[in-house]
Structure 1
Amino acid sequence: MFKVRLNTALNPFCLLLFFSALSPFRSEAQSVVIPIETQNNALVFQADANKDLLTIYFGKKLANNSEYLHVPAIYKQTSDYSGILNSAYAPSGSKNLAEPAITVTHADGNNSLDLKYVSHALKQIDNNVSLLSIVLKDPVYDFSVTLFYKTYFKEDVVEQWSSIQHREKGNVTLHKYASANLYLKSSGYWLNQFYGDWAKEMQPEESKLTRGIKTLDSKLGTRANLFQPPVFMVSLGKPATEDEGTVLFGSLEWSGNFRTDLEVDYQENLRIVSGINNYASTYTLKSNETFVTPVFLHTLSTDGKGVASRNLQRWARNYKLLDGKGQRLTLLNNWEATYFDFNESKLAGLLKDTKKLGVDLFLLDDGWFANKYPRNGDVAGLGDWQENKEKLPNGISSLVKEAQNNQVKFGIWIEPEMVNPKSELYEKHPDWVVKQPKRDEHYFRNQLVLDLTNPNVQDFVYNVVDGLFTKNPELAYIKWDCNSIIYNAHSATIKNQNHFYIEYVKGLYKVLERIRAKYPTVPMMLCSGGGGRVDYAALQYFTEFWPSDNTDPLERIFMQWEYSYFYPAIATANHVTDWGKQPIKFRTDVAMMGKLGFDIVVSHLNANDLKYCQDAIKNYNSLKEIIWQGNQYRLSNPKESNVAAMLYLDENKSSGVIFNYLVNYRYGANSSLPIRLKGLDPAKKYKIREINLYPGTESSIKGETTFSGDFLMKIGFNPDVNSSRTSVILKIEALN
């Protein structure tokens, strides 16, 4: 019996979902209907007369939620021989004929599972967020699964996961244990997935899903996104465009091996089953133990990819990304200026350059540590986190003080999960390393991975960070790298090696939780040889991520475009480097589309280049709130046009910035056609002027004409991009 106290501050949706969850309506056959509604969408379950929990609708929500009951009868498809093809969480071994969400072996050796609806309940977290739980139980075995659905009403975002438990007399083996099991109906399905490698991250590839199963997965252990990230899109009916079509964005919030199965079944419906990759990860669940899967995230848009991405970005800033509504530091990194070859004197000069450039922080990258095996290259020293006495005789503290003397902050690079075999750490603790005891070691970038399933290793990694802050309380930034994948997966500590891949990630999270408990606000970059580990579980602990080691600005336009569908600009670390052949203006303008940084030799800049960078940083500081917190609109796709164009617009639709770049240099390519803007107030009047001009140049855009928002969205504006104006940044402001 539920005791209910109503909160009159709840919005209408919350009251609707509250009553729907606690007092579900029933069909004539006495089935229970559970609608999960956000601002625009609905995911609706029905527990039928047999108590099977089935998905009867997923799409744009109806005005009258009692009409969801009519949906199944509208479809005239072939027979569902099992009766549970649309199961909300399909078990295996009983009636299910499709890819299961869960597969188990019971304590008595039986492989069958049947999950029946028992109950559901709702917790109202605030006037925008609610948490629905649905309990399912096997009628024969004391085995249950609780499904959780956390909804973000305004953002149209749903997080879902499962909790698995039992009270059998003995252990139960979990062979598969998905986080989500979605079920969609349409005339066709188009998958937009992403692939890549080092320096080639986030390459999109769209294809029509045909009958059978398409699997997106990783088995790398760490740096799991090296070849394929967990994010994907599925368009329904036809490929979605930026502003048209129905599209689902999905991703698993997990920093290890993932697996997403997309199955077009014999009724031509789509089942999406996603969770931890069960590869080499059969899990032994003890009686009364609970196994909680990671979160699967999804958002649905019936108005194209742009709406879905803005919903996801807003959700990330408000709820998931660490300090998503806060500030960020612009920085100068020494890596491309010095690589491993530096000393105190050289770094002191770079610290002066940091102040001269006008950024907030100097970041000391790889190579500052190890003595017995000095870190003068990537072949030695990793794991020995003592300052190198030859390079830094006065330690990190002297550099922190020198930074303070130059009125800038100081940050440092670490890679605490990895170790070089040529290191004191490896010599002292060979049992701390992930490796098979009877096989040859196999290295990735001359490294092995430390065993984070081991509590002693967890303490060690935590102490790497804590020790730096204890000695240097003014330390202001951490760049956390992770460059190795796991070969020869084996732990010297845990007894059940099938648990290794899961326990490694849990160990990583334990360390990060300890770090954030003591240092909750210190900015940290998630770097993993580029975008090798970015996901929303990791981004709860990091303020930003490194999309790619490829900083060629032309390549970055394409990469940043794809990343922007899933991650907000404030989380995307973009650095100006010497990669590519473009001038400093082009390189800087591209980097300004996220969290700006520099990795250049400031002393090598000529006077005009330096002046341009200094002025660009000032412009960036005046615009960064719009870039970080504004709504992002993709205006001209670089894959389809000579020009890439991106707009960031504040919530009031009164101020924005438009980035425009030439991406095709052949045959006099230019912005021959006007580019239509989006998101403006059609009734407002706007002025557009060019900013970030290179010293000594004048804009061809005079900025004196006013345009209505209606004109700019229907006709557009031409940024006049051409071979002599390859990068054009425009400031748009409404007139009061």
Structure 2
Amino acid sequence: MTPAISLSVGRRQLVLAQDAAPCWSYFGPLVPDTDSVVSLQRRPVPNASLDVPPPIPLCPVEGWGYWGTPGLAFAGLAPIQWRAVQLTQTGSQAQVTLTAAGIRWEQSLSLADSGGLTVSARVTNEGDAPLILLRCAAVTVPLPSDAAEILTFSGTWCHEFQTPRLSLPAGSFERACRRGRPGHDDFPALVCGTPGFSDQTGWITAAHLAWSGDHVLRIDALPDGQRVMQLGEAFAGGALTLAAGETYCSPDAVIFMADGLNDLRSQTHAHFRTHILPLQTRPRPVHLNTWEALYFNHDRAALSALIAAAADVGIERFVLDDGWFRGRRSDRAGLGDWTPDRQVYPEGLNPIAAEIQAAGMEMGLWVEPEMVNPDSDLYRTHPEWCLHVPGAAQPTARNQLVLDLTRPEVIEYLFEHLDRLLRQTTITYLKWDMNRDLAPAHSAVNGWVTSAQTRALYGIIDRLRAAHPGVEIESCASGGARADWAILRRADRVWTSDSNDAHDRVDIQRGFSLFFPPEVMGSHIGPAECHTSGRRLPLRTRGAVALAGHLGVEWDIRGLTPDERVTLTALIAHFKDDRALQGRAQTHFLELPEVRAVGWMLLDPQTGVARVTITSRSYSQVPLRVKLPNLPAGVTYQPKVHAPFTLPQGLIDQKISAEALQNIGLLLDLRAPDQALIFSLEPQ
């Protein structure tokens, strides 16, 4: 092998080598001696193998001695023989092009200053006959030899972003999603590292597939001891037909190397803020969502009272959730008929929008454009617009069916109605929901459509954003069932979970934080008794956990007690004081005994200001020692606290070095379970 391309930005380097085809040589910390990088990767020839075992190619194909899962595969073709190879480099970006008889494969690689490596592939049918594409992975990347433990993502409704771990098996590990959306259980990312890697230590490789549809993530153990990670789209029906001249483009995969999970968070958050998130030109408003306050009861007097109560505690945006449109008195009817229900809103939405604005707030609105109820005017007029198999029964979920977004007339209908809503009423925010899986993911016109359905969704959101650039969009899918970097290129935040239970939310938000910064994490203060779990929690605890993300309130606050009103007002003021910090800070989870407490720290790398949150999980008479890592050396700090939280007076008056906070820590008295504390550390 000979060096072909070396990309280096900041502390990361990628080296590609040239063999029979371009291959991986190195991705990791910067090594200036590129020739040594390649020579040190040469492997001895094992017994009972090919005389010259091939290195791991950028595009592994079947038939030439690569024994893992091919990154590119077609049905019915002989082994692909690349006849021409082209590698080009422009700054920190590389482009690889391989051609064979009737096939052109291309891969783009871009190394960012965050440390993230973005990779995507595309394949073109340059022949005269259709090709049956079985697989076109975005990337197949080798793992370090000591990577033996994997953190993956699982969960259920109201318990998304759980992070189970397991030792890598001798053969293959695979996570596949074929539901038409990532789902509550299959966020498309893997983290693989040295055994026992933690928030602070352990070398890890992490990868995320930026895609909102079906996917396959796998790790293969090769016969010579190497392991490779592969990420790509899963094709509904098992294959995708490429007509002559047609090109398939994979989703982006983004890969990171990090020393511990907190380092991973620092890299992913920096990358997300620079390369993924739509431009934010103003602070994120605190909002109230009407769902758990009123559900479908859009009584005008109740709404007016809720608007007044929201304004009184400092809410800045009032989001009218499900129940505002024609026939929507329950979840059994109305989806698809996107006009205000004249029985509830006889003059349309403008009067309530005016009332919200008069109270000093913006208006947001809930929509679920991809769905339709059989009991709706749209379905009665166009039943053929649903995804279905002709002649077969159509399974419902939440009493609804899925519209076929691959039909242009469906897209035009949806755009026309949403565009009219946004033009006729002053709405600055859409909560875009999606409450079911695709079953069947089949169009009567276009066949299997999971891939095309996902791309059509991106298209209509992009079109609406272009027509209404001032409107923010939230991605919701029964909570966090569609959270990924592709949807967030065109949305402003994710509704992380339908659970407002602060006890459960701590774990949900911890997993979410591995790939998303806090400002896009929708997190609400719910009622004292959580509607999804039945657990009762103190308001300070509910508030502390909600302050970890983009703050909202989802609670009928018309009947607040005086103490609740004072506390809620203080929590909202706390968020407003800290939201600028939240949008630029690094997130560090603290290494505490998890059965006892969970804690995290937001650290501003520019000013050194830190905000620390601790939540207790169980009862203990023993004080909790909290060490605070990664503070800038040589800085002296003074703890400060904001209402409604308190610290011992002696601790508030004390000046403490960063080294003491990191190596000795603070002793905090959190005896009872489900208590919370927030304090800041300010450089002196």
For normalisation by structure 2, the TM-score amounts to: 0.95
For 1:148, the equivalent position in structure 2 comes to 108
For 1:393, the equivalent position in structure 2 comes to 346
Q: Distance in 2 between matches of 1:568 and 1:613?
A: 24
Q: Is the 8 A contact 2:387 2:403 kept in 1?
A: yes
Q: Distance in 1 between matches of 2:674 and 2:123?
A: 59
For 2:408, the equivalent position in structure 1 comes to 455
Match of 1:86 among 48, 56, 59: 56
Match of 1:683 among 628, 631, 634: 634
Kindly indicate whether residue 152 of structure 2 is the aligned counterpart of residue 182 of structure 1.
Answer: no
Matches within 5 A, 1:617-632: 617-632=572-587
Q: Distance in 2 between matches of 1:416 and 1:263?
A: 39
Kindly indicate whether residue 328 of structure 2 is the aligned counterpart of residue 375 of structure 1.
Answer: yes
User: How far is the alpha carbon of 1:600 from its aligned partner?
Assistant: 1.1
Q: Distance in 2 between matches of 1:356 and 1:617?
A: 11
Offset from partner CA, 1:538-595 (integer Å, 9 cap, x none): 0011110011111100100111111111100011000001213111111111100010
For 2:82, the equivalent position in structure 1 comes to 115
Note closer, same or farther for the CA distance 1:80–1:114 as it changes in structure 2 (3 Å cut): farther
Note closer, same or farther for the CA distance 1:614–1:79 as it changes in structure 2 (3 Å cut): farther
Matches within 5 A, 1:253-292: 253-292=210-249
User: How far is the alpha carbon of 1:188 from its aligned partner?
Assistant: 4.4
User: How far is the alpha carbon of 1:220 from its aligned partner?
Assistant: 0.5
Secondary structure at the aligned position of 1:322 is classed as coil
Aligned residues: 677
Match of 1:585 among 514, 520, 540: 540
User: How far is the alpha carbon of 1:112 from its aligned partner?
Assistant: 2.4
Kindly indicate whether residue 510 of structure 2 is the aligned counterpart of residue 539 of structure 1.
Answer: no
Secondary structure at the aligned position of 1:250 is classed as strand
Q: Is the 8 A contact 2:45 2:53 kept in 1?
A: no
Q: Is the 8 A contact 2:159 2:184 kept in 1?
A: no
Q: Is the 8 A contact 1:195 1:227 kept in 2?
A: yes
Q: Is the 8 A contact 1:52 1:116 kept in 2?
A: no
Note closer, same or farther for the CA distance 1:355–1:176 as it changes in structure 2 (3 Å cut): same
Equivalent AA in structure 1 for residue 434 of structure 2: C
Secondary structure at the aligned position of 1:530 is classed as coil
- Larger relative contact order, structure 1 or 2 (CA cutoff 8 Å, min sep 6): 2
For 1:15, the equivalent position in structure 2 comes to none
Matches within 5 A, 1:597-676: 597-637=552-592, 640-665=594-619, 668=620, 672-676=623-627
For 1:135, the equivalent position in structure 2 comes to 97
Note closer, same or farther for the CA distance 1:734–1:384 as it changes in structure 2 (3 Å cut): same
User: How far is the alpha carbon of 1:46 from its aligned partner?
Assistant: 1.4
Matches within 5 A, 1:198-217: 198-217=157-176
Matches within 5 A, 1:33-432: 33-48=4-19, 51-73=20-42, 81=50, 83-84=53-54, 86-105=56-75, 109-115=76-82, 118-124=85-91, 130-138=92-100, 141-152=101-112, 154-221=113-180, 223-235=181-193, 237-301=194-258, 303-323=259-279, 326-370=282-326, 374-432=327-385
Q: Distance in 1 between matches of 2:381 and 2:676?
A: 54
Q: Distance in 2 between matches of 1:487 and 1:54?
A: 39
User: How far is the alpha carbon of 1:62 from its aligned partner?
Assistant: 1.6
Q: Distance in 2 between matches of 1:193 and 1:599?
A: 30
For 1:518, the equivalent position in structure 2 comes to 467
Secondary structure at the aligned position of 1:58 is classed as strand
User: How far is the alpha carbon of 1:511 from its aligned partner?
Assistant: 0.4
After TM superposition, what 4+ stretches of structure 1 lie above 4 angstroms from structure 2? 74-80, 697-702
Note closer, same or farther for the CA distance 1:187–1:319 as it changes in structure 2 (3 Å cut): closer
Q: Distance in 2 between matches of 1:397 and 1:546?
A: 26
For 1:718, the equivalent position in structure 2 comes to 667
Equivalent AA in structure 2 for residue 58 of structure 1: F
Offset from partner CA, 1:24-53 (integer Å, 9 cap, x none): xxx6xxx453223332333322112xx222
Q: Is the 8 A contact 1:573 1:596 kept in 2?
A: yes
For structure 2, the 5+ residue unaligned runs are none
Offset from partner CA, 1:612-642 (integer Å, 9 cap, x none): 111121121111111221111111357x241
Q: Distance in 1 between matches of 2:266 and 2:605?
A: 12
Secondary structure at the aligned position of 2:397 is classed as coil
User: How far is the alpha carbon of 1:131 from its aligned partner?
Assistant: 2.4
Range that drifts further, 261-270 or 34-43:
34-43
User: How far is the alpha carbon of 1:240 from its aligned partner?
Assistant: 1.4
Range that drifts further, 516-525 or 608-617:
516-525
Q: Is the 8 A contact 2:612 2:678 kept in 1?
A: yes
Equivalent AA in structure 1 for residue 110 of structure 2: K
Q: Is the 8 A contact 1:680 1:713 kept in 2?
A: yes
Range that drifts further, 641-650 or 280-289:
280-289
Q: Is the 8 A contact 1:211 1:268 kept in 2?
A: no
Equivalent AA in structure 1 for residue 601 of structure 2: L
Q: Distance in 2 between matches of 1:420 and 1:450?
A: 10
Q: Is the 8 A contact 1:576 1:588 kept in 2?
A: yes
For 1:595, the equivalent position in structure 2 comes to 550
Q: Distance in 2 between matches of 1:300 and 1:716?
A: 29
Q: Distance in 2 between matches of 1:286 and 1:602?
A: 58
Note closer, same or farther for the CA distance 1:206–1:325 as it changes in structure 2 (3 Å cut): farther
Q: Is the 8 A contact 1:173 1:284 kept in 2?
A: yes
Offset from partner CA, 1:639-681 (integer Å, 9 cap, x none): x24111111111224312111111113xx355x2421112212
User: How far is the alpha carbon of 1:608 from its aligned partner?
Assistant: 0.9
Q: Is the 8 A contact 2:582 2:602 kept in 1?
A: yes
Q: Is the 8 A contact 2:475 2:493 kept in 1?
A: yes
Q: Is the 8 A contact 2:386 2:403 kept in 1?
A: yes
For 1:564, the equivalent position in structure 2 comes to 513
Note closer, same or farther for the CA distance 1:226–1:645 as it changes in structure 2 (3 Å cut): closer
Note closer, same or farther for the CA distance 1:52–1:621 as it changes in structure 2 (3 Å cut): same
Q: Distance in 1 between matches of 2:117 and 2:163?
A: 24
Q: Distance in 2 between matches of 1:674 and 1:698?
A: 14
Note closer, same or farther for the CA distance 1:74–1:84 as it changes in structure 2 (3 Å cut): closer
Identity %: 24
Range that drifts further, 83-92 or 575-584:
83-92
Q: Distance in 2 between matches of 1:191 and 1:324?
A: 34
User: How far is the alpha carbon of 1:408 from its aligned partner?
Assistant: 0.9
Q: Is the 8 A contact 1:480 1:527 kept in 2?
A: yes
Equivalent AA in structure 2 for residue 234 of structure 1: C
Q: Distance in 1 between matches of 2:650 and 2:346?
A: 54
Q: Distance in 2 between matches of 1:335 and 1:185?
A: 47
User: How far is the alpha carbon of 1:184 from its aligned partner?
Assistant: 2.0
Secondary structure at the aligned position of 2:173 is classed as strand
Matches within 5 A, 1:21-32: 31-32=2-3
Q: Distance in 1 between matches of 2:79 and 2:210?
A: 29
Secondary structure at the aligned position of 1:718 is classed as strand
Note closer, same or farther for the CA distance 1:685–1:388 as it changes in structure 2 (3 Å cut): same
User: How far is the alpha carbon of 1:384 from its aligned partner?
Assistant: 0.9
Q: Distance in 1 between matches of 2:147 and 2:481?
A: 31
User: How far is the alpha carbon of 1:55 from its aligned partner?
Assistant: 1.7
Equivalent AA in structure 1 for residue 104 of structure 2: S
User: How far is the alpha carbon of 1:225 from its aligned partner?
Assistant: 2.2
Q: Distance in 2 between matches of 1:669 and 1:560?
A: 27
